[in-house]
Chain A
Amino acid sequence: MLGPSTAWYLGVAAFLFGTGALGVLVRRNPLIVLLSLEIMLNGANLALIAFSRHAGNGAGQIFALAVMAVAASEVCVGLGLVVALHRRRLELDVDRLSELRG
């Protein structure tokens, strides 16, 4: 098999996922939170493709394609929400959007 071993790929995937998760947790701008989510999804995709190559079948790649489709639609909804927030002149800060507090 050419190239680096699967472990390297997984390392990169874990790094991407961790970066994304950190972004989701610490950033307050919803736009950035959405971007961090995308990074998390791509980290997961990378892991799937790495495993697919490791196992020698295409199942993981199919999963990755499905995840991309989900990600695309999620971004649509998320950006739509951001635009709606902006239109109502609400502050773009997820900590302020706490209407659902019990």
Chain B
Amino acid sequence: MIAGAWLCLAAPLGGTLLITLCGARISRRAAGWLSTISVFVAFAGAVWSFFGLRSHGSDHGSISTAWTWLQAGGFRPGLEILVDPLSVMMMLIVSGVGGLIVLYSIGYMDGDDEERRYFAYISFFVFSMLLLVQGGNLLLLLVGWGLVGLSSYLLIGFWHERPSAVAAAKKAFVMNALGDATMALAFFVLIAHANSLSFATSFATAGHLSSTTVNLVALGLLGGAVAKSAQIPLHTWLPDAMEGPTPVSALIHAATMVTAGVYLIARTHPIFEQARTIELVAAGLGTLTLLVAGLIALVQTDIKRVIAYSTMSQIGYMFLGAGLGAYANGMFHLMTHAFFKALLFMAAGVAIHALSGEQDIRKMRGIGQLMPWTRWAFLAGSLALVGLPPFSGFFSKDSIIAAALHAHWYGVILWVAALIGTFLTGLYTFRLYFIVFPGEPTPFVREHYHAHHGQEGPKTMLVPVGILTVLAVIGGWIQFAPIWTPLTTWLEPVARTLGVAEPTSWQEGLSSALAVALGLGGIAVAYLVYGTGRLAVPRLPALQRALEHKLYFDEAYDAAFYRPAAALATALRRGFEEPVVLAAGTDIGETAFDAGRLVRRLQTGLLRTYVLFLGTGMAVVAIVFLAVR
């Protein structure tokens, strides 16, 4: 079981190294297959660990230490990995969905100039993500955390000849660095009190800390989670990250990396439970994000950006669940979301690929008639996203919503907001679907559509889409709370659902019924407005403009942080650099020059004066010697 976990971690790293070292000696296609195989080997390792853990009983998590990584006094974190129900679940998702997406990339990236670099990066990303979820202490978790940020930066900016891609990569990196910094600060506080970053010790210590300290630690962790998972207020990087290739959006910015914040909350829940306020803040931020992102998604016209906003919104649901204490539900939604969101991105990618890179939904109208299979796959993903039975989203989303009902008045607000969110989900998802797929193809589509050897795309792209379609449909069937809960039971030793987050049967039933009804309502409105055109889009220019500007978050950050910093720098240049630093340089030079002008008179060029100086000097020395003696 431990060997499987090490294999899982090492395989993608090996893939990266091989592709990097071989360079141009292997063909581009071979690099793609090498990367795919390495990730599937990792998946095999994850499956091996899963069955190993199952046969031992899921409460037998174990830590395997390779060596002491570094030592500073009594603080000696090891290079160790943890195999427990939570990490095994994440390993399966990351390497399984990751493998499918890397396979898809072979078709999608075919013909790109720098395919090998792409595959080296994406294997490296899978390695980093696996390190994040397998890290046996908080320090290794932070290392993985930073490395996924790095690989996300590299992949968003993969098409580095596009200035917008480079800017998006920088933005993502800076936003993520903020979160990394708050996490590091939280870890410093933990080291100061516990002198250790191992999970067990720090969780035990968290119970004895003063409430201020533990709140600070939880706040730092929340900062990291919010930045990585693109929740308000650190969410602005995710929509821009869609500048990267579509498989990257599917893997990093939908299925795996951005859900790391949910994993972090589930993993460090003993700390968060000591700081319950902060945990509820996380739930509140998630709810706010799911509403705001759902609203913004209604007006976006770029197919990938709509899906990106829906990702933010769905992660908002996961934060809501995890923040309330329903960790297993949050993780369950993470899993089903990985399936259907990767599917949506990849189906959209097939369409984008067939239209040579067009992403504007107004131009893509009617593509469904030419690509029936893609259309069905996208429809399955959309239904799963809205959460209609029997698609996967239904099972995972509703139990999160129901869990909110227990947190007093605060919970009721969250519950109502989450239900409004399901309506918005139905609306924006099917707005996208009805605009892009049904109907007569536009002239643009007719002109630019090109089939791949009579198919909708290369086999390497269609096969993963097919597999994910099946998973998006049936992936939720492994749990139907409260009757059938194997996943919650599996996660119980690591992340036990809090008693306050366990809804009763009637709450569960009521929430499900309302969520499905509202989701259907959203779909119906979308159909009336965008499918048949019977209803016009309501004219609210002010609101529409605000939403098109993404509620002015970018502008506000620009005004609050960038402009003052730039103004300060200019002021310092004018007020300090130029008059003080630069002027001081001139002054020093001139002083030396003046001194030189004074002393040069001594150099007469006459031999006799030099001899006289010499003689006088000797005489003085002699007299001093004689006098002192």
The total of chain A residues at the interface (CB under 8 A) is 13
Which residues of chain A have C-beta atoms less than 8 A from B604's C-beta?
98, 101-102
Is A69 in contact with chain B by the CB < 8 A criterion?
Answer: no
Which residues of chain B have C-beta atoms less than 8 A from A25's C-beta?
608, 611-612
Number of A-B residue pairs having CB atoms within 8 Å of each other in the complex: 34
B600, B602, B606, B611: the one contacting A24 at CB < 8 Å is B611
Interchain nearest-CB distance for B277 vs A (Å): 78
A21, A98, A102: the one contacting B601 at CB < 8 Å is A102
Is B585 in contact with chain A by the CB < 8 A criterion?
Answer: no
The total of chain B residues at the interface (CB under 8 A) is 13
B599, B603, B608: the one contacting A94 at CB < 8 Å is B608
> B: which residues have CB within 8 A of A?
599-608, 611-612, 615
Q: Indicate if the CB atoms of B605 and A21 lie closer than 8 Å.
A: no
Interchain nearest-CB distance for B471 vs A (Å): 89
Q: Indicate if the CB atoms of A98 and B605 lie closer than 8 Å.
A: yes
Q: Indicate if the CB atoms of B602 and A102 lie closer than 8 Å.
A: yes
Q: List 27 A-B contacts (CB under 8 A).
A: A21-B615, A24-B608, A25-B608, A25-B611, A26-B608, A94-B606, A94-B607, A94-B608, A95-B606, A95-B607, A95-B608, A98-B604, A98-B605, A98-B606, A99-B605, A100-B603, A100-B605, A101-B603, A101-B604, A101-B605, A101-B606, A102-B599, A102-B600, A102-B601, A102-B602, A102-B603, A102-B604
Which residues of chain B have C-beta atoms less than 8 A from A26's C-beta?
608
Task: Give the nearest-CB partner of A37 in chain B.
Answer: B611
Interface centre among B599, B604, B608, B612 (most CB of A within 10 A): B608
Which residues of chain A have C-beta atoms less than 8 A from B601's C-beta?
102
Which residues of chain B have C-beta atoms less than 8 A from A100's C-beta?
603, 605
Interface residues of A in 77-102 (CB under 8 A from B): 94-95, 97-102
Which residues of chain A have C-beta atoms less than 8 A from B605's C-beta?
97-102
Task: Give the nearest-CB partner of A26 in chain B.
Answer: B608
* In the bound complex, CA of A94 to CA of B600 (Å): 20
Interchain nearest-CB distance for A41 vs B (Å): 14
Interchain nearest-CB distance for A24 vs B (Å): 6
Task: Give the nearest-CB partner of A100 in chain B.
Answer: B605
Interchain nearest-CB distance for B86 vs A (Å): 81
- Chain A 5-28, CB-CB to B under 8 Å as 1, else 0, gives 000000000000000010011100
Interchain nearest-CB distance for B597 vs A (Å): 9
In addition to A24-B611, A25-B608, A98-B605, 14 A-B residue pairs with Cβ atoms within 8 Å of each other are A24-B608, A25-B611, A25-B612, A26-B608, A33-B607, A95-B608, A97-B605, A99-B605, A100-B603, A100-B605, A101-B604, A101-B605, A102-B601, A102-B604
Which residues of chain A have C-beta atoms less than 8 A from B615's C-beta?
21
* In the bound complex, CA of A24 to CA of B609 (Å): 11
Task: Give the nearest-CB partner of A101 in chain B.
Answer: B605
* In the bound complex, CA of A42 to CA of B612 (Å): 20
* In the bound complex, CA of A25 to CA of B599 (Å): 23
